[in-house]
Amino acid sequence: MTDTTPAPAPAPEQDDNRLIAERRDKLKAIREVQAAGGQVAFPNDFKPDHRAAALIAAHGETEAEALEAQAVTVSVAGRLMLKRVMGKASFATVQDATGRIQLYVTRDAVGEDVYADFKKWDLGDILGAKGTLMKTKTGELSIKVTRIRLLTKSLRPLPDKFHGMQDQETKYRQRYVDLIMDGDARARFTARSRTLSALREFMTAHDFLEVETPMLHPIPGGANAKPFITHHNALEQDMYLRIAPELYLKRLIVGGFERVFEINRSFRNEGISVRHNPEFTMMEFYAAYWNYQDLMDYTEQLMRDLAQKTTGSQQLSYAGKPVDLAQPFKRMTIREAIAAHTEAGAGADDRDWLIAALRKLGLTEEKDRLSTRSLPSLQVMYFEEEVEAKLWEPTFIMEHPTEISPLARANDARPEVTERFELYMTGREMANGFSELNDAEDQAARFQAQVNAKDSGDDEAMFYDADFVRALEYGMPPTGGCGIGIDRFMMLLTDSASIRDVILFPALRHTGD
């Protein structure tokens, strides 16, 4: 009896391998033909004079008859995204960095040999085309092609044009394909570029000098974080990828630059989440004769300006909820935030109550050393567990404990807390700033306390930086400094759920591919 069971459909990987093999065969044939004619398979002498978006903006509303009378000659280049072959005439859509435009390709206009080649080209190939603008019967702006060339042969098939890339991790791993297929992804990273340009513009307009400081540090400093360690062979010493540029920027304040900023890549050897990437971008700025109140005023202005220039509005939406940057940002102490957003009541000022509450929330003595912490430190931990996620509208949280703020100036009236703030939006920290500690002797003592904490097992505690203390001994003017997380702020500006959505190439586990 004959088996009539249909053969199983090929797996996607098998199908891709077959298509790749077919494309390699096409490329081989192209190489042979081009070599015989003294040409190359990957030419680099085509120069497009026009972009899709500019052509559509300039001529998209022109009537067909008027457009024909103008006989506008153009040349474009881009990736072949759609193709519809109809005998002696075909339509194709190419995509450049600005958008898409349709080509009308006929055998009579380009020649029989070129047209035959065109019909063999695949989606994903990169083309160059010249011709005149026209309108189709449906009113779509198109180019009536007179010359067309294959510039780059694509060996791998693009994802299905209707569904694109469905797997989110594949989008992160193969961002180049994500950008080809997803206009929203291109728009998101274009917005990031606009934001950084606006950031530089705002800072320089306020007399800040952009500087560059080292990314390889002999001593990690500027934040409480676990660093990445590498080794410099010629110097025969371990080096650390910077966790923050702070201590170098403050050295510049000592040196006489009164306002400096750096848009920097920093690295922290910590966990990965929707809000954390081990390599991230932040902007730190320092201004002599400012304190933390001045910093809050300025940061508020800056973020409004960036939102306006990037999105066109200061009223944003994130995850379906409004975020209003136009209204004055709230300002609360940690204690006030606990009172406003929890039922802690008098327990917020009771060490025993806070320790018991934190244990109920899953914190432990072994990991978090609850019994050794001061009341302000326990309040911070309780705030982070119970309040942080509730701070949706922009809110400055002030007065962080001195024991966990080793670089910040202590409050003159309450030395157990500092003149420090963290800015929260959408339940996430966006910025951290404070009046800088410029007392060299106090800084030396704070560093020593950090060394003691490190010796007790805190691998995020700071090292003792003798050269920074030496710099302070020359005298640093009263200064305010702030760091803003660019990636998290871009999540807000682009309404992105994960930090990986706003980093072109986020950190991922290596698969060996």
The label of the residue with tokens 């080509």 reads 103
Binding residue per annotation — 422?
A: yes
Distance from CA of residue 156 to its chain's centroid? 27
CA angle, residues 243, 424, 396, in degrees to nearest 5: 105
**Residue 90 · residue 84 · CB < 8 Å:** yes
In the sheet that 237-241 helps form, which strands lie side by side, from edge to edge? 216-217, 237-241, 229-232
Q: Measured between alpha carbons, how far is residue 300 from residues 50, 195, 326, 487 in Å?
A: 40, 15, 9, 17
Binding residue per annotation — 429?
A: yes
Give the helix/strand (H/E) hosting 264. strand 259-267
Taking residue 1's Cβ as centre, other Cβ atoms within 10 Å add up to: 3
Pull the structure tokens for residue 237: 């010493």
The label of the residue with tokens 């809050």 reads 296
**Residue 479 · residue 289 · CB < 8 Å:** yes
Q: Measured between alpha carbons, how far is residue 511 from residues 169, 417, 503, 507, 508 in Å?
A: 12, 46, 19, 12, 9
What DSSP string describes 331-390? EEEHHHHHHHHSS-GGGGG-HHHHHHHHHHTT--HHHH-GGG--HHHHHHHHHHHHTGGG
d(C-alpha 77, C-alpha 80), whole Å? 9
Coil, strand or helix: which one is 217? strand
Nearest to 70 by CA among 59, 79, 85: 59
Spatial neighbors of 361 by CB under 8 A, at least 6 apart, are 385, 386
Specify binding-site residues for Mg(2+): 422, 429
Specify binding-site residues: 422, 429
